[in-house]
């Protein structure tokens, strides 16, 4: 993993394909402006713009490129001139970006692009395309930065994928802030404690493995343990939290104050948890009731759980899952 000294900003810095910001950098001078990204996510993220084709000197306008299968693998070549092979230059630029990326908390890529596509990019074998490729730049970037939350702008239109990406971004950003403040065993334990239920909602196995790692924090090589921790953490957070998993977490949280609830309150809470399990109400509904009960029956441990507010409420991401 490529690392360097970090200066972490208050808002997460997100790498992004320049065309998604409305910059006219496509081969024909056009763009693919995403107003959701700039107008909504832009209220909470700082964007760092990248265009691999421009960076390697292709210019505007430029010959379009595509992915093609050759004897030695998949390459990025000119559509009209197959001798124009930019594979090495795109990979080299991705390496350069990765070396300078310590401040990034996430990355949004342009779908279908032979340079920036994250998945299902057309790869030509002869004249026949198959949607099985990864953009050259995107593939190298993800290899170099496996813990970095990455998503395509098209997939952000799916409520579940959108919430998962934004949650991962803010999780990784909090991790970066913790490192910037100075890594220590106590800070690592505190980070883990606050994120327990967030991890449990995604992957129970990873939740238990992270607990075992942190249990060794007192006598371990902390930098090495932290590297293992964040690798496992971000892998677990990539798994989508389902209504069933959320219901499990909500039941755990309810256990901290259920003895203080009267019969009617307890029945209401259980009914809403079950309704979410059955996908009849969005997650925000039982979460809102839990926050109401926490105001009446405070629990410092639960109130410190990131799970209850993992990203800005203004994004309303849990209103749609």
Q: Give, for all 321 residues of the chain, the pLDDT tens digit.
A: 444 445 678 999 999 999 999 999 998 999 999 999 999 999 999 999 999 999 999 999 999 999 999 988 999 999 999 899 999 999 999 999 999 999 999 999 999 999 999 999 999 998 889 999 999 999 999 999 999 999 999 999 999 999 999 999 999 999 999 999 999 999 999 999 999 999 999 999 999 999 999 998 887 799 999 999 999 999 999 999 999 999 999 999 999 999 999 999 999 999 999 999 999 999 999 999 999 999 999 999 999 999 999 999 999 999 999
Q: Which domain holds residue 253?
A: 178-321
d(CA 310, CA 190): 16
Q: What CA dihedral angle connects 141, 144, 146 and 149, to 10 degrees?
A: -40
Residue 105 dihedral angles phi and psi, to the nearest 5°:
-110, 0
Distance of CA 238 to the CA centre of its chain: 7
- With residues binned 3-state (H G I as helix, E B as strand, rest as coil), the percentages for the chain, rounded to 5, are 55, 15, 35
142 and 226 in a single domain? The answer is no
89 and 197 in a single domain? The answer is no
Number of domain units in the chain: 2
Among 157, 190, 218, where does a domain finish?
157
Tokens of 239: 């798994």
19 and 99 in a single domain? The answer is yes
Distances from the Cα of 249 to the Cα of 40, 183, 243, 281, 307, angstroms: 29, 28, 10, 16, 9
- pLDDT (tens digit per residue) in 86-135: 999 999 999 999 999 999 999 999 999 999 999 999 999 988 899 999 99
Q: Which residues contact 18 (CB under 8 A, 6 or more apart)?
A: 25, 49, 50, 51, 54
Among 98, 125, 157, where does a domain finish?
157
- Beta-carbon neighbour count of residue 109 at 10 Å? 28
Confidence at residue 47, expressed as pLDDT on a 0 to 100 scale:
98
Among 157, 187, 216, where does a domain finish?
157
188 and 109 in a single domain? The answer is no
Closest to 161 (Cα-Cα) out of 196, 119, 101, 132: 119
| 168 found inside a domain | no
| 6 found inside a domain | no
Count of residues in the chain: 321
């Amino acid at each position: 993993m490529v690392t360097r000294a970090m200066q972490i900003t208050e808002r997460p810095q997100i790498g992004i394909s320049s065309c998604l910001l409305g910059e006219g950098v496509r081969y024909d001078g056009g763009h693919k402006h995403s107003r959701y990204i700039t107008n909504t996510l832009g209220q909470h993220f700082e964007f760092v713009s990248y265009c691999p084709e421009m960076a390697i000197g292709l210019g505007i306008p430029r010959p379009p490129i595509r992915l093609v299968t050759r004897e030695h693998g998949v390459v990025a070549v000119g559509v009209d001139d197959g001798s124009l092979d930019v594979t090495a230059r795109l990979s080299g630029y991705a390496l350069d970006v990765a070396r300078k990326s310590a401040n990034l908390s996430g990355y949004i890529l342009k779908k279908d692009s032979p340079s920036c596509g994250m998945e299902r990019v057309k790869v030509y074998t002869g004249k026949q395309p198959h949607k099985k490729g990864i953009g050259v730049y995107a593939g190298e970037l993800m290899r170099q930065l496996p813990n970095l939350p990455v998503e395509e702008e098209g997939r952000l239109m799916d409520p579940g994928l959108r919430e998962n990406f934004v949650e991962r971004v803010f999780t990784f950003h909090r991790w970066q802030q913790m490192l910037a403040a100075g890594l220590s065993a106590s800070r690592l334990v505190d980070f883990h404690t606050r994120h327990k239920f967030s991890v449990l909602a995604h992957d129970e196995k990873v939740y238990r493995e992270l607990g075992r790692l942190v249990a060794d924090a007192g006598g371990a090589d902390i930098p090495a343990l932290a590297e293992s921790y964040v690798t496992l953490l971000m892998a677990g957070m990539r798994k989508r939290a389902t209504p069933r998993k959320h219901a499990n977490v909500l039941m755990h949280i309810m256990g901290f104050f259920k003895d203080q609830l009267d019969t009617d309150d307890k029945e209401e809470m259980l009914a809403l948890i079950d309704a979410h399990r059955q996908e009849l109400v969005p997650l925000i509904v039982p979460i809102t009731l839990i926050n109401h009960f926490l105001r009446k029956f405070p629990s410092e441990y639960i109130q410190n759980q990131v799970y209850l507010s993992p990203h800005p409420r203004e994004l309303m991401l849990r209103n749609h899952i």
